[in-house]
Amino acid sequence: MNILHVSGVANWGGGENQIENLCYELTFNNKETNQFIICVKNSEFHNRLKKSNYHFYSAPLRIKIDIRFVLKIISVCKSKKIDIIHIHDPTALTLCVLADIFYQKLPPFIYNKKTAFPIKQKKKTLYKYNYKKIKKIICVSNAVKNITSKSIPDINKLTVIHDGLRFDKMDKKAPFSLKEKYQIDSKKTIIGHIGNHIRAKNLLTFIDVINEIVNVKKITQFHFIQIGSFTERTPVYLNKVKELNLEKHVTFTGFIDDASAFLPQFNIFLFTSQSEGLGQVLIEAYYSKIPVVATNAGGIPEIVLDKKNGLLTEIGDHKNLAKNLISINKNEFTPNFDSQFLLNFSSKAMAEKTLQLYKELVNINK
């Protein structure tokens, strides 16, 4: 089988990491498929692929609908005799639908629904997500499946395959010490967060937690580190930190490649998302045996089992998030890290389930 993965995302994030993990398992540990990738030219994903051994193509995407990207999809499908197009984000879905409208001979689609955002009830949006060529929609969690089912009449199209972690990548050593690089007192307890500066990550609540601990509870033994790409939202976060006089207590590093390598330097992982499909970084924290304090958004409770391997609270509840951080720091709660549970979230398990889906789809269309 020849599989084409399409990504329309410019930044590097969990979705692009999952494409890499899936292609790795299917390329190097399974010989039944040939993997090809189309990505945005000069994106962070493109730059990573240049250093890899994957078969990939790039196309410009100056606007969300760029005819050059559409033509690239058609060209690769024709030249490589693609059997299935695996689509990984909403922008890529739009481009693939347009490519099929223009060419009308593209192979069947599989779409990966990675976010817990409801599908907008707009005519064009519903048309796109219910497009005739989409034969299966992979939801990264049961929470995403439940939300998506409200907009997909044919619920038989929906299936759940959790994102998977490549365990061999997790033993990579960080290139530097966070405390040394950012001149943080060696005695400080590090509370870490990894995520790009997007609305779903709810970094305003992250800052509210810091304020609750530092300015309200007068606890200064923690230092908070946030790793992730800056966006147009970043100035709002930095201004709020300044207004609350928290500059000495938090460090925003910006994008760092292979950020998960720094997880062992965290004492506790704080995840304040207001929407989350699954949260791959939580699987990485679990593997690194870092205690997690998180909200119960989307698929998070499918990884973080409250009062078992972490502590959960309601979205936006900064007071209870702060309380849970303090509780873990005082050893009032000790998480249980079950290696068998972790196997449910391996890239190998993800690839095996995805491969089975490919086979079923190809057999149906023979």
Q: Residue 1 has which token pair?
A: 């089988």
Looking at residue 275, what DSSP letter applies? S
Question: Does one domain contain both 296 and 356?
Answer: no
Question: Does one domain contain both 309 and 353?
Answer: no
Question: Does one domain contain both 203 and 314?
Answer: yes
What does the pLDDT profile of the chain (366 residues) look like in tens digits?
999 999 999 887 778 889 999 999 998 877 789 999 999 999 999 999 999 889 999 999 988 789 999 999 999 999 999 999 999 999 999 999 999 999 989 999 999 999 999 999 999 999 999 999 999 999 999 999 999 999 999 999 999 999 999 888 888 899 999 999 999 999 999 999 999 999 999 999 999 999 999 999 999 999 999 999 999 999 999 999 999 999 999 999 999 988 999 999 999 999 999 999 998 899 999 999 999 999 999 999 999 999 999 999 999 999 999 999 999 999 998 888 888 888 889 999 999 999 999 999 988 765
Question: Does one domain contain both 223 and 248?
Answer: yes
Helices 318-329 and 203-211 cross at an angle (nearest 10°) of: 60
The CATH number of the domain holding residue 307 is 3.40.50.2000
Question: Does one domain contain both 111 and 256?
Answer: no
Question: Does one domain contain both 44 and 91?
Answer: yes
Question: Does one domain contain both 247 and 100?
Answer: no
- The answer to whether the CB of 276 falls within 8 A of the CB of 303 is no
Question: Does one domain contain both 105 and 219?
Answer: no
Question: Does one domain contain both 62 and 108?
Answer: yes
Question: Does one domain contain both 154 and 180?
Answer: no
Q: Residue 322 has which token pair?
A: 């702060």
Name, in order, each residue with C-beta under 8 angstroms of 122's C-beta and a sequence gap of 6 or more: none
CA triple 299-231-89, angle to 5 deg: 45
Q: What is residue 124's predicted lDDT score, i.e. its pLDDT? A: 94
AA letter at 145 = K
Q: What is residue 365's predicted lDDT score, i.e. its pLDDT? A: 64
CA triple 214-330-250, angle to 5 deg: 30
Full residue range of the structural domain in which residue 83 is found: 2-164+346-364
Q: What is residue 64's predicted lDDT score, i.e. its pLDDT? A: 79
Name the residue among 36, 40, 43 with its Cα closest to residue 19: 36
Question: Does one domain contain both 122 and 227?
Answer: no
Q: What is residue 253's predicted lDDT score, i.e. its pLDDT? A: 98
- Whats the size of the chain, residue-wise? 366
**Whole-angstrom distance, CA of residue 206 vs CA of residue 179:** 20
Question: Does one domain contain both 189 and 333?
Answer: yes
